[in-house]
Every structure is written in structure tokens, then in C-alpha cells.
């Protein structure tokens, strides 16, 4: 196999590869150089020179174009290739294996056969980039070394911004390491975008820790280290008894300079990035975290070192830090935005007027333009994104690269829920939190028409799309993870989307900072709480004080009562929905899931008998269930 590499690679690239003493890796690269047949192979060591080369290639290849602000570029994906393609994302299933009914699979032989046909000569006329990265900080128990092969300079460039270089790490570890391997080809291009999107395929081989992706460009389908690696890592974590989660990681700043780290899982487009970026706190990561136990404590790292974030709705008032970063010079790739004549960018929900014309993922654009199905084309795609290195942010936490990770003080679950959960609540304990918060997470699709509610979708731990093990097993892993911990972090739920009976939101966007401060104090047992049938709720006086201190705002008691009233019928309906899913759609649900949900139901029914359907939290403090300290 070495012959292929020697033949195809220029001397300096060949030598870069040979410096990593790992025959399995060499065989993998040789196999796919031979099959995909690129004209050139470039090996990236992560040196500033190599990174500069990739940056230059992304412009020369036309995959990115320069914008007016220094360092800013724009990339477009095909019109119908703007998001994760879940339908064609499949696990290669060996004969006899079973991932349960919720996971998309294809027989391994059939899938490999198909993808190999699609990849044959796929890189002829193009360059292959071979890039080494490390998921998690380098030189750490958390580190997972990876290699990405791609014919897209945009994918290589994005990866360089989003992931820590793993070349030196790979050299150091030599043949002792098992790589995660990603192979991506855009396939045939037309007008600079993947032409054959009907043949998009993302095939995941969890046995071989390898993912193949072709005929697509959108980052979530192609940047191997993001959601493709996440699927491999969920499987690896399950085998090794740690966790891979769709979570942000942030420092919440408490009294007297104390920083407590929180992780939070939210489905896409539900406030995950904006929470991690909230003013006054510090960000470690916004999307994926690994959690491990060390000396009886839970510790976490950000798998990435950059953000592939959503632009829609980003504005100067709600996102001051991000706004500033996106307007300063610096290396940022914008994707699927509108580019104006002045070569600046516009996205839906940005401050200012919608430009009268520009260029977007549909080509030349003017307001009212329709696509071939007669739908009006918005100025930017709703999944338009920015890619940047976290080092561009002024609120970056100092612990990002700590090989030990950070101590986790609390875990947060949140979704788009208009009528059930209160804005913030703490579960009774680990098992109660895993089951009634994480495993019961639901989120609504955005309302199709004014006043109409969205469709609720079950999304355990906000991780459903990425699970590579059966759901029942995943829930079991979570339950087992917390059991041996000396002091498991409290598990909270938040709900930024609660509405009143008229359909108006009950909270302001920045209220979430108060919930964070309250959770921080709770994690140190420095404020009391009211024990209700669903969990520990904040006391009015504590929130009132925090609203004043943090936001300099009055917080009337009526508001508190409206926001924190327990909606018993809605909570009971949710329990029934969740029970039904775990009974009929999930195989091997641990029995304790049903027991904990039944107990919650019993507590809610008891309260209903005593106080009626809608109960203000102070009723429960009268029950002498108040908890102090
Ligand atoms: C998400 O959709 O949750 C993302 C972007 O973080 S993607 O890379 O598409 O997964
Ligand atoms: Mn995500």
C-alpha cells in the first residue's frame, strides 16, 4: 500500500505521513487515495504554513470568496443541500447486529458496496486534503485522534478553524492509537456545488470507526469531526463508560469571583449557542462535550475549539459579543448568507434593512424571487452559519484547553416548550433528573401559522439524531454514569419558550442569565428552593434579588406566579406521551424510567386533588416541604 502513497504523493507530503508511525492509518489513506484517485494529495500538519495553504486553496478553488472585511469569506452550499441529510445518514450494520427501531441503518456489505462505487475516481481532477485533528484537548484522557480525507478546501478550512490540530499528537502516539477516520468527497460539481445530491450518502461504520460522506457540501454532513465523529464517539463512550453529549459548556460566574461550569443540551435552534455566549459569563464550547468521571467527580471538555453557529436572528441587542466579533476583522467563514454589492453579509433577523439585491445560495437575488417550486426565497437560508475559532471571542473561558477538563457543577436540559415546563427547575436527584428532564426532553417545530403551536418532537438529551446505540441503552448509560459519583451535579431544566394563554412569551430573552445565576447558587446550596411535585423551584425573593442585581430590573410577584405556576394537566399529558414512547418505540427501556414517571404522576395527582389544575409554587411552601441549604 505504501507504493500508492509513494507514487501519488510529492516527497514532502509523503514524508509528513511517514512521520506518523501507524500502518493502519497508512493503509486507510492509501486505500482511498487509490479508490478516489485525486490528482494531488496535500498533508496538513497543522503548521501555520500548511494552514495558510488550505486557506489560499479555499479561495483559489472558488469554494470560498473574499468579503470586504479582512479575513471574512463566504461559502455557498447547493440550494437543496443546506442542512443535515438525516434520511441518507445510515449506520452500516453487520449481519446479526441490531440498533433498535429508531436508528437508520443499511446492511454493511450493501452500504460499503454502494459508497465505494460512488467514491470511485470521485476526486479525479481535484486535490485530496489529509488533515489530522484531535477531538478534545490534546495530551489528555479525553483526546480522540482523527484523520479527515476530503476533496473540499472549504471542509478542510472549516475543520482547521473548528478543531485542534492532531498531527503532533499522532506522531507522539504512533501505532498505539485508534483513529476516527473520515472520508468525504463533494462528488461531481456543477456551478461549484455538488451536482448529484440525489446520491448524497453519509455512511457510518461504528466497528471500524470510519465515516464516508459524498455528494454533499453542507458542514453538518461533511465536516467529519462534527456530527459524524459525534456518532462514533457516542458508541465509543458507551463501551468505555463515559458520555458524548450534544451540550454546550460554559463558566457561570458566581459570587466573589467563583466560576462554576455548566453543561447544557438543547435541540438545534433552541438557544444553546446564545446561552453559552450570554453576556457576563464565559464560553468553553457551544455544541459537543465529552463527560468523564475522575476521582468520583464529573469533568467535561469541549470537543471542539470553534463555533459553527446559526446566524438567523443574531442582532446587536441580544448578542452583543457575537455581533462585535462578526463585524471585526478575523478569520470567519459565512455560509449561505446574502452577499451585498459592497461585499458585506446579510442574514434574516440582522439589524438594519433587508438589502434590495445581492447574491445568495440561489444565485443573484432580489426580494420576491421564487424557487423552482414557487416558494419565495428568503435573503439568507434559515440555517445560514458562521464558522470561527473561539479565540476570536472576548468571552472565551481560560479553561478551554485544560487536559483535565473542568469540574461540572450542573447539567441543563432545555427545549422549545410552549405550555408545560416552568422556566427553570432543579430535579430531586440524578435519577429523577436523567428521567424526567433529559430522557423526557421534547421540542416543538416552529409554528407554521400565527398562534398555532408547533409539533412536539421527542428528543432525549437533545441527542436523538446522533445516537449510535439503542435509546434504552443510552438512557441506561446515563443512569449508570451518575451512580458512582460522590456528589453528582444537579440536573436542571429550563424553558425559554413558555407562553401564556394568549400565545405570548412569558419571558424576556435575557431572563436566562438570572436562571443561570440561580442554578449556580443552587449547585453550591447557597439558596433555598420550594419542593414541588416536579422538582425544586426558585423562591420568589431569590429571583427578585437576582433580577435586580444582574439585570437591574424589577421582577413583580405576579410575573413569578404566572411563570412558575405548575400546569398539572399539561405535565400529566407529557408523562403519558413519554411513557407511551418508552413503552412502544424504545426497546429495553430500563424499568426505573416507568417507576420514576409513575411517582411523578402520583405527586401531580395528589397536588391536583388538593389545589386544582394550576398551582402557584408558594402553595407548596405552605406544605412545609421547603428545602433550605
Ligand atoms: C446542529 O444542527 O445541531 C449543529 C450544526 O450544531 S450541524 O453541524 O449541522 O449539526
Ligand atoms: Mn449541534
220 lines ligand 1 (CB under 6 A): yes
Closest listed residue to residue 132, CA positions, set 29, 5, 38: 29
The pLDDT of residue 623: 60
The pLDDT of residue 622: 63
Please tell me the distance from the alpha carbon of residue 593 to that of residue 180, in angstroms, as a whole number. 33
Range 2-62+82-241: architecture per CATH: 3-Layer(aba) Sandwich (3.40)
C-alpha 551 – ligand 1 centre gap (Å): 31
Please tell me the distance from the alpha carbon of residue 489 to that of residue 500, in angstroms, as a whole number. 32
Closest listed residue to residue 380, CA positions, set 404, 402, 401, 354: 354
List residues with catalytic annotation: 270
Best of 244, 268, 311, 333 for a ligand 1 pocket test (most atoms within 8 Å of beta carbon): 268
C-alpha 304 – ligand 2 centre gap (Å): 12
Q: What is the DSSP letter of 483?
A: T
Closest listed residue to residue 332, CA positions, set 347, 322, 317: 322
Closest listed residue to residue 438, CA positions, set 303, 583, 266: 266
pTM: 0.96
In the chain the first and final C-alpha atoms are separated, in Å, by 65
Average pLDDT, the chain: 95
The pLDDT of residue 2: 59
Which amino acid residue places its CA nearest to atom 6 of ligand 1?
287
The pLDDT of residue 626: 42
Report domain 308-392's class. mainly beta
Please tell me the distance from the alpha carbon of residue 438 to that of residue 435, in angstroms, as a whole number. 6
Cell numbers linked to 247: 451540550
Cell numbers linked to 156: 478542510
CATH of 244-307+400-620, one of 3.40.50.300, 3.90.228.20, 3.30.565.10, 2.60.40.10: 3.90.228.20
C-alpha 217 – ligand 1 centre gap (Å): 13
Q: What are the extents of the domains in the chain?
A: 2-62+82-241, 244-307+400-620, 308-392
| Closest ligand to Cα 228 | 1
The pLDDT of residue 629: 37
Quick one: which atom of ligand 1 is closest to the CA of 218?
9
C-alpha 268 – ligand 1 centre gap (Å): 7
286 lines ligand 1 (CB under 6 A): no
Which positions of the chain have pLDDT values less than 50? 447-452, 624-629
The pLDDT of residue 455: 82
Cβ-defined contacts of 91-98 (< 8 Å, 24+): 91/203, 91/204, 91/205, 91/206, 91/231, 91/468, 92/203, 92/204, 92/205, 92/206, 92/207, 94/207, 98/470
Amino acid at each position: 500500500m505504501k507504493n500508492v502513497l509513494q507514487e501519488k504523493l510529492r516527497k514532502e507530503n509523503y514524508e509528513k505521513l511517514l512521520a506518523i508511525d501507524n500502518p493502519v492509518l497508512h493503509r486507510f489513506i492509501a486505500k482511498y487515495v487509490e479508490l478516489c484517485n485525486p490528482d494531488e494529495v496535500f498533508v496538513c500538519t497543522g503548521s501555520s504554513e500548511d494552514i495558510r495553504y488550505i486557506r489560499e486553496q479555499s479561495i483559489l478553488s472558488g469554494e470560498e470568496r473574499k468579503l470586504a472585511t479582512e479575513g471574512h469569506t463566504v461559502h455557498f452550499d447547493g440550494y437543496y443541500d443546506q442542512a443535515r441529510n438525516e434520511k441518507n445518514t445510515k449506520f452500516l450494520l453487520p449481519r446479526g447486529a441490531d440498533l433498535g427501531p429508531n436508528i437508520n441503518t443499511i446492511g454493511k456489505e450493501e452500504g460499503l458496496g454502494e459508497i465505494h462505487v460512488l467514491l470511485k475516481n470521485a476526486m479525479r481532477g481535484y486535490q485530496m486534503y489529509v488533515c489530522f485533528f484531535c477531538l478534545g484537548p490534546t495530551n489528555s484522557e479525553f483526546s480522540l485522534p482523527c484523520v479527515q480525507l476530503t476533496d473540499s478546501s472549504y471542509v478542510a478550512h472549516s475543520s482547521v478553524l473548528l478543531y485542534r490540530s492532531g498531527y503532533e499528537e499522532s506522531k507522539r502516539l504512533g501505532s498505539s492509537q485508534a483513529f476516527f477516520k473520515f472520508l468525504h468527497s463533494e462528488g461531481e460539481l456543477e456551478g461549484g456545488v455538488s451536482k448529484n445530491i440525489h446520491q448524497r450518502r453519509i455512511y457510518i461504520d461504528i466497528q471500524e470507526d470510519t465515516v464516508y460522506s459524498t455528494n454533499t457540501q453542507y458542514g453538518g454532513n461533511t465536516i467529519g469531526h462534527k456530527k459524524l465523529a459525534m456518532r462514533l464517539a457516542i458508541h465509543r463512550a458507551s463501551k468505555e463508560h463515559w458520555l458524548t453529549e450534544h451540550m454546550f459548556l460554559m463558566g457561570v460566574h458566581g459570587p466573589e469571583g467563583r466560576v462554576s461550569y455548566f453543561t447544557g443540551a438543547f435541540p438545534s435552534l433552541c438557544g444553546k449557542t446564545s446561552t453559552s455566549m450570554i453576556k457576563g459569563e464565559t464560553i468553553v464550547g457551544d455544541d459537543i462535550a465529552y463527560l468523564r468521571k475522575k476521582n468520583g467527580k464529573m469533568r467535561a471538555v469541549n470537543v471542539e475549539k470553534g463555533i459553527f453557529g446559526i446566524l438567523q436572528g443574531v442582532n446587536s441587542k441580544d448578542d452583543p459579543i457575537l455581533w462585535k466579533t462578526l463585524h471585526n476583522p478575523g478569520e470567519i467563514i459565512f455560509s449561505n448568507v446574502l452577499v451585498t454589492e459592497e461585499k458585506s453579509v446579510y442574514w434574516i433577523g440582522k439589524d438594519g434593512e433587508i438589502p434590495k439585491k445581492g447574491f445568495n445560495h440561489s444565485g443573484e437575488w432580489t426580494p420576491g424571487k421564487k424557487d423552482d417550486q414557487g416558494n419565495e426565497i428568503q435573503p439568507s437560508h434559515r440555517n445560514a452559519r458562521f464558522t470561527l475559532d473561539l479565540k476570536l471571542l472576548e468571552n472565551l473561558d481560560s479553561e478551554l484547553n485544560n487536559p483535565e477538563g473542568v469540574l461540572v457543577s450542573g447539567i441543563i436540559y432545555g427545549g422549545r416548550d410552549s405550555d408545560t415546563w416552568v422556566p427553570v427547575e432543579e430535579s430531586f436527584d440524578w435519577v429523577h433528573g436523567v428521567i424526567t428532564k433529559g430522557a423526557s426532553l421534547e421540542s416543538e417545530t416552529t409554528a407554521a401559522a400565527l398562534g398555532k403551536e408547533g409539533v412536539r418532537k421527542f428528543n432525549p438529551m437533545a441527542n436523538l439524531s446522533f445516537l449510535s446505540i439503542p435509546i434504552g441503552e443510552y438512557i441506561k448509560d446515563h443512569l449508570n454514569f451518575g451512580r458512582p459519583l460522590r456528589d453528582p451535579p444537579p440536573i436542571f431544566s429550563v424553558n425559554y419558550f413558555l407562553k401564556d394563554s394568549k400565545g405570548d412569551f412569558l419571558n424576556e430573552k435575557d431572563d436566562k442569565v438570572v436562571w443561570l445565576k440561580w442554578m449556580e447558587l443552587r449547585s453550591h446550596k447557597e439558596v433555598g428552593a420550594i419542593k414541588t411535585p416536579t422538582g425544586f423551584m426558585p423562591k420568589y425573593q431569590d429571583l427578585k434579588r437576582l433580577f435586580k442585581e444582574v439585570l437591574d430590573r424589577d421582577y413583580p410577584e405576579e410575573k413569578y406566579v404566572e411563570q412558575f405556576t405548575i400546569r398539572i394537566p399539561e405535565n400529566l399529558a407529557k408523562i403519558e406521551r413519554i411513557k407511551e414512547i418508552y413503552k412502544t418505540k424504545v426497546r429495553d427501556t430500563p424499568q426505573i424510567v416507568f417507576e420514576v414517571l409513575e411517582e411523578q404522576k402520583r405527586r401531580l395527582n395528589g397536588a391536583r386533588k388538593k389545589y386544582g389544575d394550576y398551582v402557584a409554587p408558594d402553595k407548596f411552601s405552605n406544605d412545609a416541604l421547603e428545602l433550605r441549604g
